[in-house]
Amino acid sequence: MTAGHWDAVLTSLDDAAALSGVDPAIHAVLRVPERVLEVAVPVRMDDGSVEVFAGWRVHHNTTRGPGKGGIRFHPDIDAEEVSALAAAMTFKTAICGLPFGGAKGGVRCDPSKLSLTELERLTRRYTWEILPLLGPDKDVPAPDVNTDDRVMAWLMDTVSLAHGQLVTTSVTGKPLALGGTVGHAGATSSGVLACVRSAFTELELPIAGSRAAVQGFGKVGGPLVFLLQSAGMRVVAVSDVRGAVYNPGGLDAFDLADHHRATGTVAGFPGGEAIDPEELFAVEAELLVPAALAGAIDEATAERLGARVVVEAANGPTTTRADDVLGRRGIVVVPDILANAGGVTTSYFEWAQNRQGYAWDEELVAERLRRTMDGAFRSVWARAEALGVSLRRAAYALAVERMAEAITARGIFP
């Protein structure tokens, strides 16, 4: 999974550089992460033994501002995967006009096998090891796969103790009690919905009554099912790692959420029939949202995809070859570096509020998120029309052009 994701990022970058005609020197700079820190994370387990985990923090490019990107705890990550995710953050923040660069971090572990105290010790030791890279004007982490506001609170506390003062601006995605922002929990889902609305408007497709299939029912997919239903769509299929359910008349978001809370899975939901999770991609629908991990849509899956529009809520859910197939089939893809930028946008709002010492109300956060996402979509759509290319190619071209402008302005030192 890992090398493939990094290779896909480089392929998109190379194509964008050719499309936009940027200076070859700038292209070369963007092909290599600025810094890759690999650390050992020794943790004393509850039984008294010590286990050593591998961790990483990667800065892909910080020309436009401090590094911004999540921290994930997952058994399959490595340096190349984290680098790919960091590069995506560079392009994502550029597309949305945020004053950040791209970063990402993670620890190779299975958090489901750790107790709460082991998870806290892991988080704090990992934070301590990557501390030289962290700071409000250097690198500002956020939650990602298998991390949440509780993990961010431990991270912020560790940074604050190291500095001898409270540093709320050192991390985003915190609990509200520690300077978090309202709306952060569902921000990625809200951003995806904004892209769905924009894409359907441009394609002259009605939102009301259109069918949607959602792969993944976690921090993004779960809230998104509710948001899509609230917007008037029929969510006909939903899957997670343990199963999938289908109902051509639409799955009830509230009942599905209740079932998931009770059982930990969408499998067995009485409001729909069980299907193989792989069959979700073939379900006839106007919209498909992959909201799980990278590489979910491969070449074979793309050939039998049943949707007209794909909005990528996950990072890197479509392989390069699959993207070619979707393009040939005329399926419109709103790429991850645009579609799931709601999370980092709201992280920016939290960082800004912490610096101001003033909390915004929920309406202001929602309005500024919608305005940012709509503006980013319009910019990418216009670039796609001007260049005569797909939204993915246009998004990368736009990001590279904005990066080139910043790198040129700052110059190459010395």
Catalytically active residues, by annotation? 104
Report d(CA 52, CA 65) in Å as an integer: 33
Report d(CA 400, CA 160) in Å as an integer: 35
360 backbone dihedrals φ, ψ, rounded to 5°: -80, 155
Report d(CA 44, CA 124) in Å as an integer: 12
**Residues 210 and 200: beta-carbon distance below 8 Å:** yes
Going by C-beta distance under 8 Å and a sequence separation of 6 or more, which residues neighbour residue 101?
59, 60, 61, 62, 63, 64, 65, 66, 67, 68, 89, 90, 93
Going by C-beta distance under 8 Å and a sequence separation of 6 or more, which residues neighbour residue 68?
89, 93, 98, 100, 101, 102, 103, 139, 140, 142, 344, 347, 348
* Neighbour-count burial of 26, counting CB atoms closer than 10 A to its CB (0-12 exposed, 13-18 middle, 19+ buried): buried
Report d(CA 84, CA 407) in Å as an integer: 20
- Name beta bridge partners: 73: 107
Over the Cα atoms of the chain, what is R_g? 21
Going by C-beta distance under 8 Å and a sequence separation of 6 or more, which residues neighbour residue 352?
none
List b or e across 93-110, with b for residues whose CB sees 16 or more CB atoms inside 10 angstroms: bbbbebebbbbbbbbbbe
Nearest to 297 by CA among 341, 327, 258: 327
Sheet with 211-215, strands from edge to edge, namely 273-275, 243-246, 234-240, 211-215, 285-290, 307-311, 332-334
Report d(CA 138, CA 62) in Å as an integer: 8
Report d(CA 128, CA 337) in Å as an integer: 30
- Half-sphere exposure of 185 toward its Cβ, with a 13 Å CA cutoff? 10
* Neighbour-count burial of 43, counting CB atoms closer than 10 A to its CB (0-12 exposed, 13-18 middle, 19+ buried): buried
Determine what percent of the chain falls in helix, strand and coil, rounding each to the nearest 5. Answer: 50, 20, 30
